[in-house]
Structure 1
Amino acid sequence: MSNVAGFCADEFAAVRTAFTEQVESGAELGAALCVTVDGDPVVDLWGGHADPERTTRWGADTLVNTFSITKTMTALCALLLVDRGELDVYAKVAHYWPEFAANGKADIEVRHLLSHTSGVSGWATEFPFSDIYDNESSAALLAEQEPFWEPGTASGYHANNYGHLIGELVRRIDGRSLGRFFAEELAEPLGADFHIGRAAQYSERIATLVPPDFGTFDQDLLPKDSVLYKTLFQPLLDFELCATPGWLDAEIGGTNGQGNARSVARVQSVISNGGELSGRKFLSAKTIDLIFDQQADGVDLAVLMPLRFGIGYGLSQPHTAPEVPQDGRVCWWGGLGGSMVVNDLDNRVTVAYTMNRMAPGLIGSDRANAYLKPVFAAVRG
């Protein structure tokens, strides 16, 4: 009996072969892969197991924590408000959130938050990781602090607080929380099984994560005043919390979205399909063009790797994402452990990959690359 299920169009047969090899070899514990063209699935595969004991098969409706893929959903929420004229990416954050102007942040613009260039990439003080579940109080802390570097001059990946920053703008403008806004404006209209918060009710369908082995590392060796330390270690992600009801129900728009490849591809196809999906116009071409307004290109101050950001998404970068197409209108992002989404607007293609055995490294993985390569060979020749 094969450990892989689903369907694959004939022209993407090499994609199914690559996915099957990774699942059957055990490189994947459990995973899902979806490719859409013109908004419709042409590859929808899943396989392996949802638990490390291999007692539960990964099913068609298995969900998993997608970590920073959630940021693309959060960015899309912001772009919806932009398209409606309720949010201006070139306006000051303080126009919508007056308290944010404190301590040298009065001139930070919305685009700086969306492109990880605001200087507010984390919290200035240490506290328990579970404190970030309270969006309003943890956002208030961000509003009070000074930026870690001169805003707009470089990127510093907003690893844990991206959703707190953008979510607070959504709440101030719309009145709904980020998770509710996403559910009502994107997930439900699109029939997408992706959730930012309120996910404990789906716990029986959520795959168990197997954290990566980062080896032995003494965080005390890091300078406490470095952007890296303040971003990634204040607070440090606690994998043991990622299966708890508190984590699943919190609306952490940067890190805790629960979904699968099909749901990720469904929502993100709004971008690759030119803003329109299932007969509904979500975004105009003008709003989508903002994604490709480059805001930063260089070594990121928080994760110390080359990154290139537009507004809301990563842009092609040959060193960090070698299998993401380097030409044309392509935007992408990856989640901790290797999950990935890529939107190729020129070919109206979205690729999404989710899994529960996490690879080491902050962005991308060898397994993700193994799938992206045959997908774009088929699409681009």
Structure 2
Amino acid sequence: MATLTFMGAVTGVTGSMHLLETQGSRVLLDCGLYQGGREEEAHNEDPFPFAVKSIDAVVLSHAHLDHSGRLPLLVKDGYRGPIYMTSATLDLIEVLLKDAASLQARDVEWENKRRRRAGKVELLPLYTLDDVEDVLSLCQGLEYGARIAVTDEVDLTLRDAGHILGSSIVELFTNESGRQRKLVFSGDLGNSQAALLRDPSVINEANVVLMESTYGDREHRSMQETLDEFENVITTASQNGGNILIPSFAVGRTQEIIFRLGELYQKGKLPQQLVCLDSPMAIAVTEIYHRYQNVYNQEDKQAIEGHSQTAEPSQKSLHSFLPTLRYTVSTEESMAVNRIASGAIIIAGSGMCNGGRIRHHLKHNLWRSQSHVVF
């Protein structure tokens, strides 16, 4: 008889990890980092609560680190089986996991400088870029709707979850002694008001449903109310001469903001002549979004194709939909943005303002009464 064991994201929302076991198979759903305060993140050092080498396959619902961020640790501990996900998720985790490894290396080096002075034992990062490369060598990108056998007893199909690019609802079909059952794992679900992405797929039947409920008790206002408020901030900032700062997450949120600004530009309602995307990771992710426009919802895809200022279909993208968008990659370019006193919209990470280039832009703009910050 198949069993399901919850190993993460149970008393909190990070560290997603669940184990499906049949008579002869063990399939891991997600392998996420614990994120938040020091107490939560300390769990990332915990050993896995199963024999790593006994896992037959891993299925990843989407690229966010609270679902994917411990994959390098799993491989570091000896896992050598396949890791299944959509092709878009595969492209995204390369960016996210490499960034996570680089940040860990930098943070550990900073801490070790202090430890060396104090004569303390030096620390090691959770994982390195080499560990990330080992993960990528095991990954297999799938298309939505394809059904494949991941073991002799378990088949897999991925459906669009509408959360971020490449996000999936996981369907697992078990067959034990002729008894067939279906497990549906929602991953993180999007909503019908989101830009660019399609609505989450509708699953009509299942024997067991494992569903996220992060915002299950929250009533959201309509997207139109949010967009009206956003447009009002843009108009006000233009009238009083201030910059607009938008702290934003690199995956999903940034691309939606660019699209919404593009909509305003195409309607002649974006007076600002410069939109700066000041985040190397968000820039890389936006370029990945461009490669997967085939999974956009039809309405927004047609808007981009119909209004982008380029004759080449392959070049029609979020960037061409918003011609005033400028990428600032280098540190020097980012510092130059700090010298802009008015008339700019600056999108930068991190979305929680606890790191990244947004902190420098806040430092250079918050003292101006005409500046605006949009969360």
TM-score range relative to shorter protein? under 0.3
More strand by share: 2
Structure number with the bigger relative contact order (C-alpha 8 A, sep ≥ 6) is 1
Q: What TM-score, normalized by structure 1, do the two folds share?
A: 0.25
Whichever of the two has the greater Rg, that structure is 2
